[in-house]
Amino acid sequence: MNTIPAPTIEYGTLAPLLLVFGAAVLGVLVEAFAPRYLRRSIHLPLTLLGLAGAFVLVVVQTVTSGVPKSAVAMGAVAVDGPSLFIWGVILVLSFVSVLLINDEGHFVASAAAVPGSRDEEEAEASGNAHTEVYPLVLFAVGGMMLFPASNDLLVMFVALEVMSLPLYLLCGLARRRRLLSQEAALKYFLLGAFSSAFFLYGIAMTYGYAGSVELAGISKALATGGVLDPLLLAGLALLGVGLLFKIGAAPFQAWKPDVYQGAPTPITALMASGVLVAAVGAVLRVFWVALGNMDWDWRPVMWGVAALTMLVGAILAITQTDIKRMLAYSSVAHAGFLLVGVLATYDAAEGNEKSLGAILFYLLVYGFTTVGAFAVVTMVRDAGGEAGHLSRWAGLGKRSPLLAGIFAFFLLAFAGIPLTSGFFGKYAVFTAALGSGAEAGDSLGAWMTGIVVVGVIASAIAAFFYVRVIVLMFFSEPAADGPAVVAPSVSLKVVIGMALAVTLVVGVFPQPILDIAGQAASGLFIR
């Protein structure tokens, strides 16, 4: 009789991931057994400790035992340099986002109550709260960590769902403008489900071609087989749609503004930073590891997507009147800049290390600035909650110069003005792209120069709407009944302070972070 061989799982290497999931499961138990009035005070330390502990584990593991040389869990999960870096970034960003979530007044008292009904009033009066938010966030974070580390398309799909399902729910929990929030959740869920289906279908097609769902197996099949197989091309296209949807690249960006606007702002912050980081990591892994041997086939498409994403994000942002929608389109544009980095592959592996390091660096600095910017958005409120409409921000510079100044600084960082971290992010990615073009030397060089020029034009357009907000805050007369700026809680101060510190310090001395990103990228992805 055959015995089923027990799989070997490297628990040590996977410890950060397991710790986050473990904390999430504990959180569910807390929901089930702890009395209502205690839940929040248990959840918060549990969540923060889980995230911080996982971060410490990542750091300790990397420092003491170095980067694992091969995939773990029977080749399903690749805990390599880029994964560890992305884990660290996601953990810190989600830690900061949880501090934001902990702030009062973002989440609905009872999601099931019809907006405007008596049930809602009662729930609010009785002080109900959805403390499930904390374990949900932990599950999402676990998914975000697994997503870019999966070495196998099926694991990647599972991670995608683990990451997305809690987020669909969280999007619908805003306390104010509940219909908008519920609409956002539904839209996100429907479109997300579609994209998951695309992704899954893509896996099936690719499996049909390669006979394997492992990234390394697909790569091997490509090295020997023909690349013009319809199964492969269809699979590639469908996988691409699924992944590009998650990073919000054009033409799959339509969900971003609606969802970012409707979701409670702390959740928006988590999505705009953590999910983007995770999704870009996954895009890199699929396209560089599994499909690296057919880069001649996907490059032209990716070129078009990157150019379109940058331009669509920058141009549509100009017409926005809501601050969160504007930041959503700005996030679309930044996804485009990151795709420029994805395009920057070299013939020699050392070149790829440079591009990868640039992208990792960009992810880190963009994530922090984004969380900081959304944290500021949560502070500007009027009677109906956050003052979303841009006209409400007029003259903010006069009423609270410090806050407006910090927000202006974040906007300048998004625009990529020197002496902010955003500048070096863009610079690193553009340099990698031009470098890869120069190395190739043929017509590819012209194309890479072209995408950088498109990127620069998009930056110039984007600068317009960032600067417009600064003009509004500083040079316009404040409205008579303008929004109030709430006194920040300690956690909010920590969030904004951290984001500001990273944006400023990395903007002046990027070298330490560049070193870390460079080291993380030095082994490239393991196969």
Partner 1 sequence: MSLWLPILIAVPVLGAVLVALLPKGSDTLAKWLTLGVSLVVMVLTLVMAFQFDTGAKAERFQFVFEKDWIPSFGVHFGLGVDGIALVLIALSVVLTPIVIAASWHDADAPHAKYSVKTYFALLLVLEAMMIGVFAATDIFLFYVFFEAMLIPMYFMIGSYGGAQRSYAAIKFLLYSLFGGLLMLVAVIGLYVAAGKNTFLFPELIGAIQDPTTQKWLFAGFFIAFAIKAPLVPFHTWLPDAAAQAPAGAAVLLVGVLDKVGTFGMLRFCLELFPEASKWATPLVIVLSVVGIIYGAIVAIGQTDMKRLIAYTSISHFGFIAMGVFAMSQTAQSGATLYMVNHGFATGMLFLAAGFLIARRGSPYIADYGGVQKVAPLLAGAFFIAGLAGLSLPGLSSFVSEFMVMIGTYSSSAFGSGALGVAAVISAVAVILAAVYILWMVQRVLHGPATESVAGMKDLNKRELWVVAPLMALIIGFGFFPKPLLDIINPAVNHTLQSVKVDNPAVAEKGAGQ
Residue 446 in the binding site for partner 1 (CB under 8 A): no
Angle formed at CA 341 by CA 228 and CA 373, multiple of 5 degrees? 135
Question: Is 435 a residue that touches partner 1 (CB under 8 A)?
Answer: yes
473-492 residues near partner 1, rule: CB under 8 A: 474-476
Cβ-based nearer residue to partner 1, 210 or 506: 506
Q: Is 347 in the site for partner 1 (CB under 8 A)?
A: no
What is the C-alpha separation between 501 and 153, in angstroms, rounded? 37
Give me 22's structure tokens: 């473990």
Q: Find the shortest distance in angstroms from Cβ 511 to partner 1.
A: 5
DSSP string covering 223-244, please?
Answer: HHS-S--HHHHHHHHHHHHHHH
Residues 6+ apart with CB under 8 A from 125: none
Among 79, 89, 113, 452, binds partner 1 (CB under 8 A): 452
Query: Judged by CB, which is closer to partner 1: 212, or 476?
Result: 476
Residue span binding partner 1 (CB under 8 A) among the ranges 11-19, 120-128, 277-285, 432-440: 432-440
Give Cα 446 distance to the centre of its chain: 31
Return the number of the residue (231 or 457) whose C-beta is nearest partner 1: 457
The stretch near partner 1 (CB under 8 A) out of 51-59, 181-189, 230-238, 506-514 is: 506-514
Q: Does 428 bind partner 1 (CB under 8 A)?
A: yes
Angle at 101 between CA 47 and CA 88, to 5 degrees: 55
Under rule CB under 8 A, residue 463 binds partner 1:
yes
Helix (H, G, I), strand (E, B) or coil at 247: helix
* Closest CB to partner 1 among residues 26, 516: 516
Q: Which stretch binds partner 1 (CB under 8 A): 143-151, 277-285, 417-425, 487-495?
A: 417-425
**Cβ atoms of 214 and 151 closer than 8 Å:** yes
Q: Could you tell me which of 527, 302, 333, 244 has the C-alpha nearest to residue 436? A: 302
Q: How far is the CB of 258 from partner 1 (least distance, A)?
A: 29
- Interface with partner 1 in residues 32-61 (CB under 8 A): none
Residue 206 near residue 225 (C-beta atoms within 8 A):
no
User: Whose Cβ is closer to partner 1: residue 22's or residue 435's?
Assistant: 435
- Angstrom distance (rounded) from CA 236 to CA 254: 22
Report, in Å, the least distance between residue 524 CB and partner 1: 17
Give the whole-angstrom CA distance, residue 161 versus residue 305. 24
Q: Supply the DSSP string of 359-398, one letter for each residue.
A: HHHHHHHHHHHHHHHHHHHHHEEETTEE--BGGGGTTHHH
Q: Which of 179, 464, 493, 505 binds partner 1 (CB under 8 A)?
A: 464
Judged by beta carbon, residue 238 or residue 462, the one nearer partner 1 is 462
CA-nearest of 88, 55, 20, 89 to 368 is 89
The window from 194-202, 257-265, 345-353, 416-424 that contacts partner 1 (CB under 8 A) reads 416-424
Among 223, 318, 349, 471, binds partner 1 (CB under 8 A): 471
**Interface positions with partner 1 (CB under 8 A):** 357, 397-398, 401, 412, 415, 417-419, 423-424, 427-428, 430-431, 434-435, 438, 449, 452-453, 456-457, 459-460, 463-464, 467-468, 471, 474-476, 509-511, 514-515, 518
